[in-house]
Every structure is written in C-alpha cells, then in structure tokens.
Homo-oligomer: A and B are copies of this chain.
Amino acid sequence: MTGKIRIGVIGASGYTGADLIRLAVRHPAIEITALTANTYAGKPVASVYPHLAPLNLPDMVKNEDVDWSKLDAVFCGLPHATSQELIATLPEHLKIIDMSADFRLRDPAVYEATYGGPHKAMHLQKEAVYGLTEHYRQAVKQARLVACPGCYPTATLLVLLPLVKAGAIDAGDLIIDAKSGVSGAGRSLKQNILFCEAGEGMTPYGVATHRHAPEIEQEIAVVAGKPVLVNFTPHLIPMSRGELVTAYAKLAQSATAADCAAILALAYKNEPFVHMAPQGIFPATQQVRGSNNVMLGAYADRIPGRVILISALDNLVKGSAGQAIQNFNLMFGLPETQGLEQVALFP
C-alpha cells in the first residue's frame, strides 16, 4: 500500500503506451499496477521495449486478466474502434483517460462517417470530455472519462482556437498544412513506415481525407459558433517524433499578425506548457522533443490581410501521453505539471 494512485495502461505495447509508461513511472503520485497487451501477455515489458528494461514494471497481461478493482484509473492506448468496447465494460469507480480516437467526436454521424462504422458506446460519448486541457480545464477536472485529442488537433487547435474566439481570423478559410514524424503512424507493420521508405524523403498522405480534420472542425465550430470545413493536409517527415502545423488564415478586417501574436501570448500567459517562440526564432519540433511543451508563433504573410500561424509539439507527449497525464493530474486534483517537467531533449 503506497498511498499512490494505481493505474493501468491498456495497450501498453504501442508507442503511446510506451511513452505513457516513461512518464508515469517517474510520476510521484502514480503506481503502475497493470499493463495490458494482448499479443504479448505474460511477457515483461523489456521484451518489447528494451529501453524500459531497467525499470521495475509488472509483466504485460491480457485485458480480461486485469483485476479492475485494484485500479483507480486507466489510460487507454488501444487502436480506434477497439477502445469503446473495452471502456464500456469497465467498472464505474475507474477514471478513464482515453488516448484513442473513440470518444473525440460528439456527433455520431460524423463518427460513423469518419471511422467507418457505428459507435458502440454512444452513452459514454455523452459523458466524455474532450481533453484539450488548456481549453477544457474545468470540465476535465469533473470528468470520469476524458477523450484526449489527436496529435494534429492538439497542435492545430492550440494555435487557432484563441484567434477564432477573438474574431481575429476567418474560421471559414483555414488552410492547415501539417507535418508529422513517423511515430504518429504507430508501431504496427506497414510498408510506408519502414526506414528505407520513410527515410531521406517526405510524402503527403491522407490529403483532404485524414480523420483528424473532422475533429479539428468540431472544435473550431464550437468557438466559431457555426459549422466549418477546414483544409487539412498532413505530410510524413523523416524523424521519429515531432509535429509541426503551419496554418494559413485570413485576418479579420482590422487585425494584424502582431495582434494574433498578442492574443496567443495572452491566452496562454499562465499556461505551463504552451509558449510563444522566442523573438526571432520560429517554432520547431527540435524545441519540444520529449517534453510536454508547445511552441507557437504568428507571422505576417506577404499577402496583405493574411497571417501565418505555426505550432510545434511532440506528438507522443503533448500530442498524446503527456496531455493524458496532464488531464489525469486535473482529474485527481494533483498539480497540473506533476510528472511532466521533463526538459526537451536536444540534440
């Protein structure tokens, strides 16, 4: 009996699961009690993640072999469409931080169109809080089930929401050019993420069809007060971690890029993880690798009346496991930054 909060990590063998373990094992209020990974059940974590070998961690087990009554909270890192079924079976006393896409979309029709099938736990969807911490902090504190945003939506919304809310940019003409490291594609075996395919080159993917677009639209619509469609064009970059969003927007009549920078600076003035890039330095993924930090910037375009908005984060940390722990901290009344103080790793 440690007095710590006992957590389970569901789907511990993916990159998101591994990064959650990396952070949770050093979190002073967390005890990692259960790790699940159906295909590796019975094996030590070190067998799939040798970098975790020096740690004292429980062996991986099957989901059905977890004694949920021994846990206080569950982080779920399963692939989309599989989280919902498991989560629906979990006992009520558990707080759940879902890192999958299953509870991010509020509209069942949009969910079905985006993920190719009907949602199987819509009753929980109603309860789920969208875990973009800086914008849903109060709701997260009260939540039992938090749906952590996708990595791209996190990067995008952090830089766009305050500006749309302030009326500084036109929500109806947003171009979002996004670039991600390869870990965003997960650890399952696919040809396009082999070293020789993804290395020394770059490629667009999911042009105009990526599943994160409806999620971005949902949240922009909330602050815009009307439905929106956005351009969203992701690219695969030959690096493991990191995500950079370059968004192009029309300024409202009197607004300037400097206004946008000021609005962002003010919006995140007291935020521990969201920062404006230092003067003269553009946001870059090298600035945030391994940390929960986000770097933002707003710049005048050559085309009058337009602004360029840039956001950089680590897709596995603020884009997933780090934000999950940030939400966990709020849900359990802990200091929001606890366990998330890692400085970015550079070089």
Question: What is the interface of chain A, defined by CB distance below 8 A to chain B?
Answer: 15, 18, 21-22, 25-26, 44, 46-47, 49-55, 173, 175, 177, 179, 182-183, 187, 189-191, 193-205, 207-208, 213, 229-233, 235, 237-242, 244, 246, 248, 275, 277-278, 281-291, 293, 295, 299-304, 306, 308, 310, 316, 341-347
Contacts and interface: CB of A to CB of B under 8 A. Distances in A.
Given A179-B235, A197-B347, A246-B177, A47 B203 contact: no
Given A187-B194, A208-B299, A246-B235, A347 B308 contact: no
A166 B49 CA distance: 32
Nearest to A306: B231
21 contacts: A15-B196, A15-B347, A46-B281, A50-B277, A50-B278, A51-B286, A51-B291, A52-B343, A53-B277, A189-B191, A195-B240, A200-B239, A200-B241, A200-B242, A204-B246, A213-B302, A231-B303, A237-B238, A238-B238, A248-B248, A290-B345
Contact of A183 (B26, B173, B347): B347
Given A201-B286, A244-B204, A278 B47 contact: yes
Contacts of A229: 302-304
B193 A194 contact: yes
A254 to B, nearest CB: 20
Given A54-B293, A343-B22, A201 B239 contact: yes
How many protomers of this protein does the assembly include? Answer: 4
A187 B288 CA distance: 19
* Secondary structure of the A contact surface, majority rule: loop
Contacts of A310: 204, 207
B207 A51 contact: no
A53 B287 contact: yes
Contacts of A47: 278, 281
A159 to B, nearest CB: 13
A347 B282 contact: no
Contact of A284 (B204, B291, B301): B204
A240 B308 contact: no
B190 A189 contact: yes
A288 to B, nearest CB: 7
B277 A248 contact: no
| CB-based closest 4 A-B pairs | A203-B284, A201-B286, A196-B347, A189-B189
A199 B201 contact: no
